[in-house]
Structure 1
């Protein structure tokens, strides 16, 4: 665990030299403890890692590991091959220690069958490394063993003298790795077999002790003991092989388990991929179905859009025809409407005196104007059924009731005065004239509102090409307002917090809009306070408000009152287009008209200018 953490630390710091040497030490540990399968797997991983990281200068390390692997498996020829590969790949100038280890390991592999070549390898060792007594004594030990195998007593004595000198005089710098083998060779050459066997028994590794005793008994000709040592050697080798095979079997079993686990994971992933693929195919099929559905739906919508466009074109054409028709009627009605308004204003003046012989002509003019209006009302109402408004028969009846009653009263009263031919008493005549005055005004204004509603009730945009001061427009509208004809004349107060130099670009129909609102608040006022006001709003825009003191309109009827031909009370006989006309005119000019439901003293209408 600690070594793995250390490897991770070296990898993060990219210390590749130390990283691969630590990995090599792990392989050597497995080889020395005969974990050959694990060691071989580690060597393959080490080689792949070096190539993956493009660190080919360290490929000599896995070659050295393979040499040690085959050397421990008693395959010196294979070990020799990989040690030579390692020597070709290592840089002698940068890695003298690695070169030293390669030559030393190669010499060990060659010593079994080619002792002369093994001695030549030892002669090729870097000289600077031999200056260290630890390395020098180790090499001298190998030289002694190889010289003994060659039977070169003179060379052996020369190497042994130096070897034993280091052992005697510099024990701290002495390398005891091959001490037992060297001493056994030394005493065999001196024919001191007892000491040779004693050194054999001092070996801590049973296999080494067995091998040394076998050599002693073979040298002395004690074949019975040699045979026993051979049997013991075979027994130990078989035990080692069995242990290696068991461990190898465990490793293979572990690998098989891992492969089975990977296979199960692969099968699970395959099933997951199949499920995902099936889901993807289903989703794609659904998407294709949705696209096909949307395609045909879009085709249908396109057809419907074209039909709507055609219907709109026909409707606009019909609306244009209706507008032209109503405009023509309006032009014809302007004269009788003006005539009735003028007579109403004149007759409303108590100082105006009309000679008895002139009455017949004047009142015949009033009758003619009233009959002219009456004759053109039905075409105007019929035009609604062909326009966007599309009134019902009941709404048409409401209009006829609101217009015909004052018209017939006006005509009847005027005919009474005409038939009297100036013979009516003055008081009775003045009462009839006052009634004619009110009826003429009501007929004229109601007819005008109905015509305007017919023209602008569809709330189509109208041009804004008239510039005027906001306060000036409000004062002009208030000054021209005919409240003298109302049943309860009131004084209307004008209040403003807008500067007089503020101008707006609007349409002259804004005055008609305000007149409609004034008609409503005057009609339903019960108190004396009526107000027309102009205000600056917090966002910098402006508003016009008209209010009275009287009954409040419930919040539930705040929008209902703007519906055409609606009467909130069954006792009313009004036309019911005043507030709807005001709303349509406001919309056509881009304004908003609402009932202020927070105002509780009466009714308050607010026109918010854009």
Structure 2
């Protein structure tokens, strides 16, 4: 679906705030309102201090509530929700919308009620739920038309046209014309209506319509210099060059569009219309990546917000119980103190001491509960931000390539189909590897059995691992094994666990070594009580201050490489099961050297 939400929110906010600024300027006694409105508008755009923006909005709403100006009150509120939508805080936006709707119903304020349904349309549209967005926009229109006199419904028709533009451009054209019709003389409303019509013309291959509405857009936008006409420049340049059959220029202009999702949408649409299957495939892959990234952000923010709320409820419950217990303890203390005075002064110190011990114990429990909640919150954030994208990326790639292969409208040759099949297979293996690593880490951490040892012939064992891992190294990297022992020397260890440890260390080295060599070296310590195995590479050295952090769960020093950040964690757990240790040798500066030490007995 074609979405230009950032520009849309910009226009909505400018329309909403322009009368506020003008009215505040006309009233010389409205200095406070003028300052707050200017601060509110500034906060909306820089997105650096959400807390300050929300506080400013609450001050403005309180000011308008005192004056009884409900329309301005709800106008500020709807723009707060637009702010949350623009910042991908959908959960927060839905919460505020529910509060707005409840208040509007209690006050029987139909303007606020209509705006609440409009807000729901914005939020569901941001999440990609077209049916719910459309349902709420239509409900908003119904209330505006029935109960609100001289209501500005133009912006609602914009949104509906925007929802239809991909799947039903003719209906989008009809809704855009309604937006223009109800815009009256409002420059912003008219310009956005003309912009939507220009985009619809591209979908309908209507060059004449594009020229007509583009001319209207240019003429109208010049009437108000505050209108952000420059935001649409590359959209129109791209469409203009397409109709002139300058396809390279059209794609180049599309690449200059500022909003990532719009840029990917425009490029995919142009490639589809041009009929270039290779570029269409490439643009489709990029579109999937962009949508996946936005979806991950939205879902991650929603999940974190709900988790925070759930944890806050738990903590509040614990604090309530502790407060009740504290009151109970104090009451009992007073009773015991009274009895102590009556019966004997000798018991006072003993009872007081017991009461203090009990209170300290309860305080420790509360502190532990708080620390546990904070740790739980940190682990949730780590899990969401590190594993969500790693799992969703191969899944989306599998779905996207499968859809292209099975599409009857795509003209693909055998080589391209073979390449796509290989991509599907590669992403399936990647997804399986991630899940296997997660399961393996869980099993290792839960298994406390003592591993069985056996005799292992060093030369045979280590050379086999080198051969198995060579396909994962780059062509410019050489893998090798050497030892202080003879070819017939044997070590006594668990073959399965030691194999997994070395595979994970070599896999990590292969990822980060572009050229040079990767070496395994086997030896003993001075008193021959431990086997010492080192894995050395010539990749970029890991910073000294990260020497221990890299063994923690979900830690990745390079977010652009695949993996969930649990390989070294799993490696350390496996070595610990064998009674040994694995560390990064920080004294080695020509790359990285991991040292595995396991008992020789």
Give the alignment's TM-score, normalised by structure 1. 0.41
Decide which structure has the larger Cα Rg and report it: 1
Give the alignment's TM-score, normalised by structure 2. 0.42
